[in-house]
Amino acid sequence: MYEKCDPMTFYHRVRSFLAGSKNMAAAGLPRGLFYNEGDGKGRWRQLQGGSNGQSCLIQLLDVVLGIEHNSNCVADQKSFHHEAREYMQGPHRRFLSHVAEACNIRELAMFPEDEVASAEHQRLRFAYLAAVDQLCEFRSIHIQIVTRYIILPSKRKLKDGSRRNLASPTPFGTENAANDTIIGTGGTRLISFLKETRDETFNAKKVDESESQ
């Protein structure tokens, strides 16, 4: 991506086509988009734009490793990651649900060592922690890419003038735009969401007291 995609071109020319209509009030879409069904009938809908969260492969890594993304969810509210599954093909959704029900790698790997001290368990835990570390690194690199291709270009104008990006609450070229106000194409507060996702990944390496009882 670094070799073939210019950050300014991506942000100002390409990214707006990936934006959705959810959480885009500051971009002029407080109710999302109205879908006309004919004869004046229809409804307003707020939909996510394109996002890595809609990738079955990305979510599979979380499911297999037992990583939960529910930090800021209130009761009866779906997390962004679970909501993103609604944008996948049916077979992909069912596959993830099946794997989630059958997979217990984290439970086995993080079983208290004072109860299981075998060499096999130690190797399993080492391999599991290494896999989680790699996924954390992957997400850290993702944040670096987002910074280069979204955060920094959001503060600069194109040479031919400023334009509006639906995936941002501020006009192009706003120099004092706070990083945490930039909305991702999926409708999340971009940087804080990505950091939270990375932190939740890291937390899979920890054992809660309730889990060890």
What tokens appear for 1 in the block? 């991506």
Please state at what angle helix 190-203 crosses helix 119-146, rounded to 10 degrees: 170
CA 117/CA 120 separation, integer angstroms: 8
Q: How far apart are CA 192 and CA 183, in angstroms?
A: 10
Distance, CA of 126 to CA of 8 (rounded, Å): 42
6: left (phi over 0), alpha (psi -120 to 50) or beta: beta
Asked if residue 190 lies in contact with residue 184, where contact means CB atoms within 8 angstroms, the answer is yes
Please tell me whether 81 is known to bind a ligand.
Answer: no
Return binding residues. Answer: 142
Summarize the annotated binding site for heme b as residue ranges: 142
